[in-house]
Every structure is written in C-alpha cells, then in structure tokens.
Amino acid sequence: MSRLKYGWWLPLLAAFVVFPLVEKNPTYTTIGVFTLIFMGCAASWNMFSGYSGYINLGAAVFYGTGAYTMTLLSNHLHVPGSGDQFWLVPVGGLVAMIVALPFGLIALRVRRHTFVVITIAIFFVFQLSAINFSFTGGTSGLSLPLIPWLVTNFNTPFYYIALGIVIFATLLSFAVRRSRFGLQLLAIRDDEDRASGLGVKVFAVKLTGFVLSAFAIGMCGALYAVFEGQIYPQFVFDPLFDISIALMAIFGGLGTLVGPLLGALVLESMQQYLTLQFSNSSLYLVLFGALFLFIVLFMPQGVVVYVRDLWTRHSLASDDDSTSMDPALSGSTLS
C-alpha cells in the first residue's frame, strides 16, 4: 500500500524537472514559473491554515514582505544583476517570518471567523503602508537591478529555484503532518478547547505554525520580485493573491498534502493561459467562480479527498467477498 501511496511522486517530480528542458518557448516556461510559485505558496499556506482550520487571508503580507525585502536589499547592497540576488531569496523568507510573529500574536488572539477578518485587516495595513511610505517607492513601485540574460534561457534558473521551494514546502508539510506538532494542529482544527484540555499548548502551537508557513511564501515573493524586475505594492500585496491561494487549497483539498499543489497547478496555469490567450486579465475570475460553485456543491472537501473516497469505496467493493478484510481497520489507510 505504501508503495502505491508514494510511488507516483517520483515520475511527477521527474516531469517537473524535465519540463523546461523540453519546452523551450519562454511563454510556456513563464507560466511554469508562476505556477510553481503559487504551488509553493499554496502548500506552505495549507501547512498552517489547512491543518489548523484557521483560514489566513493575509498571506500576501508574507509574499509582499519577501518581495520588498529582496528589492530593498539588492538595491541597498548593490547586488549586481547576475543571479546573485538568488542568495537573498531565503532572507526574504526569514524577514517574512519575523513579520509573521507580531502579525500572529495579534491575529491568533481571536478564533476562527474573527481571525479571518483580522488577517484581512492586517493585510490592508501592509498594503496601505507599502503604497504610502516613501522607502517602498509608493504606487510607482521599485525596480531591481536588471538581469542581462538572454530571453531563451532567462526562465530556467527561476523555474528550478521555484521548484526547489515547492519541494521544500511539500517536504515541510509532510514532516509537520507526521510530527506531534502537526497532530496538535489537527486537534486544534477539530476542537481547540478540547485540545487545550488535553495538554496542547494551543497558542504556542498556532503561532509556530503561522510563522513557519510564512517562510516559503516569503521566499516565493522574493523570487517573484527578481523574476519581474519591478514590483508594485498593489501586485505584491494583492488581495486576489490571498483569495487565490485559499481557493487553490480548497479546490484540491484543504489540509491534504497533494490538494493545494494540485489546486495551484490547475488554477494558476489555467489563469496564466487564459490571460495570454484572450489578453484579458480578469476573464479567469469568471471561470474561477463557476469552478468553485461546482467544487463547493459537488466535492466540498476538494478534488483529492473526493477521488480518494471514490477509490476507497471502489477497493472496498471489489474486496467485498474476501472475508479477511476488516472494514474497521481499512478505513484510514489511504489518508
């Protein structure tokens, strides 16, 4: 069973590694980079919000912080546009974590729905600050040192770094899922007061998860800044970013390992493709709306959970006549 469970990761990973070697058209590799950036964000976001049930609609704060950290540092440290900026990507993640600490200390004082509202409020505080402070360049944004690479190969390093972040975020989610800390997050999702009554230090656990999830999102923001070469507050602190990654995770399956990755893969590549094809940057919102109506109505737990349930039912049905199968023990082997 476990070979069946993990065996398909490897060919999938191989496909991602090979993609830029096969596909040389920069239009499509650009879509690849954006898709991977969102996969990293969605996976990392899910590690806190999916596991704990605390839907964070202020994750763009981490993303924007990463982007501004990258931009300000590479400008002030005079990092040449030669790819040396990539060393600052983890710094973007770390600064995002530092910002996440007071953010979490405030927002996590309240529960559930109120938490969602507070995260949105804090998000706007950051967006407005970025627009109004002078060191952020205001609405005209900031530009980074130009990278003088050829168009044909420009995307490749970004692609592989983004892939690295996705792998990191996925492995971290996996490790958290298997750790005691992850179990405590899941217990908080199901019944926070009960968890506290069983010895779980709920506030510390929530705050740790929140801060931890900021790292990969901050790195993605930092990478995005280098990739674009120019950042604007309304694009790095973008409310649509918050909603998008939440929807990606919900689409694939909130709290599952694969769900957010699948959600980001499908939705982000679709969005990029539609934007390119019809040169209309908000057409995707219409499609997203319809898609989510469908998901919420027919697969409320997300695609991954839906397919898994189908599979479990199928394998239970085919094993029906073999008496050795104890349904009591087979229930959660696929989860």
CA distance 34 to 160: 12
Which CB, 167 or 186, lies closer to other proteins?
Answer: 186
Candidates 142, 195, 236, 264; binder of other proteins (CB under 8 A) is: 195
Beta carbon of residue 328, minimum distance to other proteins (angstroms, whole number): 6
Q: Are residues 116 and 93 in contact, defined by beta-carbon separation less than 8 angstroms?
A: no
Closest CA relative to residue 144, chosen from 251, 72, 53 = 72
Residue 300 lies near other proteins (rule: CB under 8 A): no
Under rule CB under 8 A, which residues in 155-194 are in contact with other proteins?
178-184, 186-187, 189-191, 193-194
Candidates 77, 110, 198, 286; binder of other proteins (CB under 8 A) is: 198
What's the residue count for the chain?
335
Residue span binding other proteins (CB under 8 A) among the ranges 92-100, 145-153, 163-171, 322-330? 322-330
Under rule CB under 8 A, which residues in 201-230 are in contact with other proteins?
201-202, 204-205, 208
Beta carbon of residue 201, minimum distance to other proteins (angstroms, whole number): 5
Which CB, 24 or 201, lies closer to other proteins?
Answer: 201
Residue span binding other proteins (CB under 8 A) among the ranges 25-33, 157-165, 199-207, 225-233? 199-207
Which CB, 143 or 196, lies closer to other proteins?
Answer: 196
Q: Are residues 105 and 207 in contact, defined by beta-carbon separation less than 8 angstroms?
A: yes
Name 230's bridge partners. 143
Beta carbon of residue 316, minimum distance to other proteins (angstroms, whole number): 13
Which CB, 77 or 334, lies closer to other proteins?
Answer: 334
Beta carbon of residue 264, minimum distance to other proteins (angstroms, whole number): 23
Name 143's bridge partners. 230
Amino acid, res. 38? F
Which CB, 106 or 175, lies closer to other proteins?
Answer: 175
Closest CA relative to residue 230, chosen from 32, 39, 81, 29 = 81
CA distance 120 to 125: 9
Residue 328 lies near other proteins (rule: CB under 8 A): yes
Residue 332 lies near other proteins (rule: CB under 8 A): yes
Q: Rounded to the nearest 5°, which phi and psi values hold at 66?
A: -60, -45
Beta carbon of residue 62, minimum distance to other proteins (angstroms, whole number): 20
Beta carbon of residue 186, minimum distance to other proteins (angstroms, whole number): 6
Which CB, 178 or 314, lies closer to other proteins?
Answer: 178
CA distance 93 to 121: 22
* Total residues at interface with other proteins (CB under 8 A): 31
Which CB, 60 or 195, lies closer to other proteins?
Answer: 195
Whether the CA torsion 269, 271, 274, 279 is positive or negative: it is negative
Which CB, 153 or 333, lies closer to other proteins?
Answer: 333
Contact residues for 155 (Cβ-Cβ < 8 A; gap 6+) = 20, 26, 29, 30, 32, 33
Closest CA relative to residue 264, chosen from 304, 294, 234 = 304
CA distance 255 to 258: 9
- Position of tokens 């008496």? 323
CA distance 228 to 145: 11
Residue 77 lies near other proteins (rule: CB under 8 A): no
Q: What is the DSSP letter of 109?
A: T
As a dihedral over the C-alpha atoms of residue 47, residue 50, residue 55, residue 57, rounded to 10 degrees, the angle is 50
Which CB, 23 or 189, lies closer to other proteins?
Answer: 189
Interface characters, 34-73, with other proteins (x: CB under 8 A): ----------------------------------------
Contact residues: other proteins, CB under 8 A = 178-184, 186-187, 189-191, 193-202, 204-205, 208, 328-333
